[in-house]
Amino acid sequence: MTKFVLSIAIIFFAVISCSNTNSEEKSFLKIKNKITDAKDEILIEIVGIYEVESESAIKEGCDLKVEITKVKSTYYYTLTSAIREKSAELSVDKIENSDELALILNEIQWSEYKGDISNEKESKEKELKIPVGINATFLNNEIIIQNYGNDMNYYVQLGECSEKYIRLVRK
């Protein structure tokens, strides 16, 4: 049974990676306007390659690249860094009262998570599961990842980057 599921998964990813996409052709994400609940749709182009632009971040090992593709009506990403390459489905939602999109790079486990550590006594009593799915926002052809939290809510999404805000710009 395991071999069957693995075979299906390999075939699925082979079909996705071999799909012929025209670089000239633009893919747009149609999002229903949740603010007014009107039938108006906002067209936002998100398919493309995004890379870290900051030389200081790259020197510190935060040389990330995210490629977003579209197969039929589903978006996928491939995240490449110095220590990993991961491909999976991309979740996309419109942020209310904003031009931003909320993105989740599914299936990537965070590097660290301690949750709300304002009350350390309670925090030590609970064993927290490390979240899966890298949270990001998309605006003006950029993907921004808040990579780590603060003293009250400690987490690190991508351990290979020391930047608080990882800025990936469309190439």
Sequence spans of domains, the chain: 23-170
Q: Is the pLDDT of residue 127 over 70?
A: yes
| More reliable by pLDDT, 6 or 157 | 157
Compute the distance between CA of residue 50 and CA of residue 69 in angstroms, rounded to an integer. 11
Separation between Cα atoms, residue 29 and residue 12, nearest integer Å? 22
Residue 3 confidence (pLDDT) above 60: no
* Separation of alpha carbons 153 and 146, rounded Å: 12
Please check the confidence at residue 124 and state whether its pLDDT lies above 80.
Answer: no
Contact at 8 Å (CB) between 148 and 156? yes
Say which CATH class 23-170 falls into: mainly beta
In angstroms, the CA 51 to CA 74 distance is 22
For the cut 60, the answer to whether the pLDDT of residue 146 exceeds it is: yes
Q: Does residue 6 sit in helix, strand or coil? A: helix
| 36: pLDDT strictly greater than 70 | no
Tens digit of each residue's pLDDT (9 = 90 or more) over 46-102: 999 999 987 777 767 788 899 999 988 889 999 998 889 999 999 998 888 888 899
Q: pLDDT value at position 32?
A: 44
